[in-house]
Each structure stands twice: as structure tokens, then as C-alpha cells.
Amino acid sequence: MAKVSHFAAPLISGFRRLKSFCIAVLSRGTVKDFAGFDARTDAETLRKAMKGLGTDEEAVLKILTSRSNAQRQQIAAAFKTLFGRDLVDDLKSELTGKFETLMVALMRPARLFDAHELKHAIKVIRELLLAKTVQVPNAKRGFAGRGESGGSTASIGQELRPMGAAEVMPVGRGSVQSCLAVPLPRTHREMLPLPGSRLRTTAELRNVKQVYLEEYEANLEDHVTGDTTGYYQRMLVVLVQANRDPDGRIDEGLVEQDAQVLFKAGELKWGTDEEKFITILGTRSVCHLRKVFDKYMTISGFQIEETIDRETSGDLEKLLLAIVKCVRSVPAYFAESLFYAMKGAGTDDDTLIRIMVSRSEIDLLDIRREFRKNFAKSLHHMIQKDTSGDFRKALLLLCGGDDE
């Protein structure tokens, strides 16, 4: 047995190095593992920055924005060992306002993040649910090259990580009615599926539900139904149930059938058969839905978004449109969310923080590209213009560069 372990050790070590290399190469995030990382040194620097009178905010933000989520957890553990103190508690004590919220967000452990945010901000429910059902197929399409919706090969990095807890931030506290629909994957530490393997999107969502149950002794579906009503509630429940078809061979006959069903349920019907939209958009695979949207345009002469806009309203309309947007392009949706979080008077700081933190290790480079393409200005430029102080400094470091 000892000999087996001896010979296996180099193989295990080699696999781990290969895994880290693949993650680093394929990641489209702006934050990666920090080279030469030393959790003890970082913990000592942070303690010095917050000890005594005054706080060195610059030292805090430089460390926390340049370390991966996994490394931040190691820093927190070292901080506890060295000083017997909780790093997050110290951050909350020494920092204030939006900057405090951002730094604490960066420290949220991966496994508990989704459950925590769902408990305290049910508005985030859309992005959690959509992520588990549309995120990875976007990555698969990117691996094959630019698809009919303009996917980028860069997004394949998203396929190499399970999705879940490290990357969702609150949009604000309160009702699900005003939540946004943005997808999110999780940090990639636990497992590295081989390229081309079937992604565990449904399993990831079920894991979130299980963690939620363990942490709060409550069923996520009950939480959703308790805060929503009508067809909107029905759509959310379908997403929570995590029964979306896996991507695979496209059945052209079913594509034609679904497109016809949607046409008859909306444009050709007096009133709207919302259940048909809910069933198809909530359970069909992403690749299938892209084909359905194309076929729908051919049959009806309308984009599916136009029909949803005419045939539905309120929160159901917003959620259906969000599903369509996420199916078409994940980075483009995030870019749009960031733009409107900063557009006009005031800033939706919760949305800004949530997306910048959640996507910094995943695909923020792609989001930056879509932002520049769609809004004729860089994300860096808009953050620079719309925020201030240490909050701005930290966001710009997460942004990672200017695309002007």
C-alpha cells in the first residue's frame, strides 16, 4: 500500500499542476491566483493595516482585490490562527459604507454564498436559477467558435468550473419583484470537468438548494413561493426545480413544434397562454432554445423578445426576457446590467458590487468587451466617472484594465 501511495503521489501532484494551468489559461476573469501567494504574510499585512488608530484602506483593497476567493479564505484562516480574530469582523469594524460592503463581499466563502444571498435578498433568485440553466452551454458554444448569437471562444473557461456559491451579491434587500436576471457560475476550486464533458448545471442548483436547507432549515422553493404570486411564481418554481433538458442532439422536429406552440400561445391567440412560454423557456436546453428562437423568427416574422414584450407584462415579462437574454449571451447581459446600474442619476451599488465580485474570476474580460461594443465606452471609464474614493479604487482593480 505504501508503494502505491509513493508512486501515486507524483501523478496526483502533476494532475493538480495541470488543473491549475488549465484554469489559469482558460479563465476569462480579471482576478486569478496571486503568484507567490503567502497567506501568513497577507494576514499580517491586513492586521497591521487595521490595528490601532486609523485604517490603511489602500493596503486592504490591494490585497483583497488581487487574491482569488480561495486565497482569501486561506488568508482568513491564517488571520484567525495568528491573531485569534475574525478577519471579516475586523473589516466590518474598520471600514464603512460601500467600500465595507465590497470588501466583505470579496471575503464571502464559496459554498455558503448562494444560500446566504438567497436568504437575505430573494431578489437574487433569478440570477441564481438562470445561471444553473444557461451559463455552461454559452461556454460550450464559445469553445466551438462564434455561434449564431456571437459567442466567443473565450467563454470556454466557464465550462471548466462548477457553478454555485462564490459569485452572487445582493441586488438590494426585499421582494423578488425587482430582482435582476443575471447568471453566475462559482469559483472553480473543487472540480475540473474535462472539456466536452456534460456539465453539472442541474446538480449545482440542487447543491445550492441543499446548502440552503442545511443552513436555514427551510426549503428554497417555499421561500420563493412565499414571496411571489401567479405566473411569475410558476416560472420561478420551474427554474428552482432544475429540470432543464441537457444539451445534446437537436431534435429539429421538436424545434419546429416549440416555435409553433409559442406562436399560437401568443401572437395567434386572443390573450396569452403563459403556461406554454413557462414550460418551453423553463425546461428546454439552451442549444434547443437558440434554434427555437431562430425558427420562431422565421415562422412569425418577430423576434421572441418582441412577442414576450407584447404578450406578457410585469415581473413575468422581465423574467422571460431575462431568460432569453441569458440564453443568447451571458456576457452581454452582464454588460447591460452594469451599464444600467451606473446610468443616469445615482448608482445601483448593490448590482455593481454583485457583478464585479461575482464575475471577476469568471468572465469579466468578456463582459468588458461586450460593454465596450454595446455602449461605446469602456466599463473602466464608466466606473471611474460614476464612483469615488476607495470604493472606486477597488472596483477599478477588479475591472483590471481600460478598453478605451
What is the Cα–Cα distance from 267 to 198, expressed in whole angstroms?
36
The domains spanning 31-107 and 252-328 adopt the same CATH topology = yes
Give the closest residue to 334 by CA, choosing from 361, 366, 305: 366
Domain 252-328 fold: Annexin V; domain 1 (1.10.220)
Alpha-carbon span 9 to 314, nearest angstrom: 57
Contacts of 390 (CB under 8 A, 6+ apart): 57, 58, 61, 99
Cell of 40: 501568513
pLDDT truncated to tens, each residue of the chain (404 aa)? 445 455 566 655 555 555 555 555 567 899 999 999 999 999 999 999 999 889 999 999 999 999 999 999 999 999 999 999 999 999 999 999 999 999 999 998 767 766 766 676 555 555 556 655 565 444 444 433 333 333 333 332 333 233 333 333 333 333 332 232 333 333 222 222 222 222 235 777 778 888 889 888 888 888 888 778 899 999 988 888 888 888 778 999 999 999 999 999 999 999 999 999 999 999 999 899 999 999 999 999 999 999 999 999 998 999 999 999 988 988 998 999 999 999 988 899 988 998 899 889 989 999 999 999 999 999 999 999 999 999 999 999 999 999 88
Q: Which homologous superfamily does the CATH classification assign to the domain defined by 31-107?
A: Annexin (1.10.220.10)
CA distances from 362 to 22, 168, 330 (A): 13, 12, 11
**What are the domain boundaries of the chain?**
31-107, 252-328
